Amino acid sequence: MDESDLYRRWMRLVENLEREGIIKSERVKRAFLRVPRYKFVSDRYKEYAHVDEPLPIPAGQTISAPHMVAIMLELAELEDGMNVLEVGAGSGWNAALIYELVKREVYTIERVSDLVEFARKNLERAGYKDKVYVIWGDGTKGFPPNAPYDRIIVTAGAPKVPQPLIEQLKVGGKLLIPVGNYHLWQELLEVIKLDEENKIKIKNHGGVAFVPLIGEHGWRE
């Protein structure tokens, strides 16, 4: 299948997500159209990149389903110039989408070194080399050198909200994170930081299924 077929299928998926009310804003739609998922999966999965389901990436991990990514990006309410940290780089796809929504450098942390390489290669090929920085490390501890953040988006499921992530948010900033069980299921939480003392307000957006967030403030290996 050539690139124009892949892109046509991708456009159809984006239109469906919009029709279903999952993609709500022009901004998220534009980002999806600029960053097709097939650029972030191995060759053998490219022809399935428009299917609205997670797909395998190296190290037994997954690239999330397009509807899930769209839901989180709509909730994030990203604006130009926002400072965003992603935890769980995986393929690099979501970080590239975030870049398109903030138009400034994005930091994304990944704990599996093979995936750091995978994400960097995908991002470089897709034109995001100096736009998205993939850091190798434990994202449950955040990434203090670039804090405080307007938004932190966690793409793996945690047992609880990691305190360092709250500390590294700006007041008024927002953390999106799935919290719940190791495997199925978690609930997607929107955590708003209310003051410098790390007081928070939590809104629950319902059931989701993510791979586990493993680290000092997450699940144990």
- Could you give the residue numbers annotated as active site? 64
- Contact pattern from residue 9 through residue 48 relative to ligand SAM, giving x for each residue in contact according to CB under 6 A and a dash for the rest: ----------------------------------------
Residues 60 to 119 in contact with ligand SAM, rule: CB under 6 A? 61-64, 87-88, 90-91, 93-94, 109-112, 115
Number of residues this chain uses to bind ligand SAM (CB under 6 A):
26
For ligand SAM, give the closer residue by CB, 9 or 37: 37
**Does 155 contact ligand SAM by CB under 6 A?**
yes
- Residue 50's contacts (CB-CB under 8 Å, 6 or more residues apart) are 6, 9, 10, 12, 13, 37, 38
Query: Beta strands 186-193 and 169-180: pairing type?
Result: antiparallel
With 0-12 CB in 10 A as exposed, 13-18 as middle and 19+ as buried, what is 62?
A: middle
Residues 180 to 219 in contact with ligand SAM, rule: CB under 6 A? 210-211, 213-215, 218
66-76 and 3-19 helices cross at what angle (nearest 10)? 60
**Does 156 contact ligand SAM by CB under 6 A?**
yes
Q: Which among 107, 122, 98, 117 has a CA at the least distance from the CA of 42? A: 122
Q: DSSP state, 214?
A: B
- Contact pattern from residue 114 through residue 153 relative to ligand SAM, giving x for each residue in contact according to CB under 6 A and a dash for the rest: -x----------------------xxx-------------
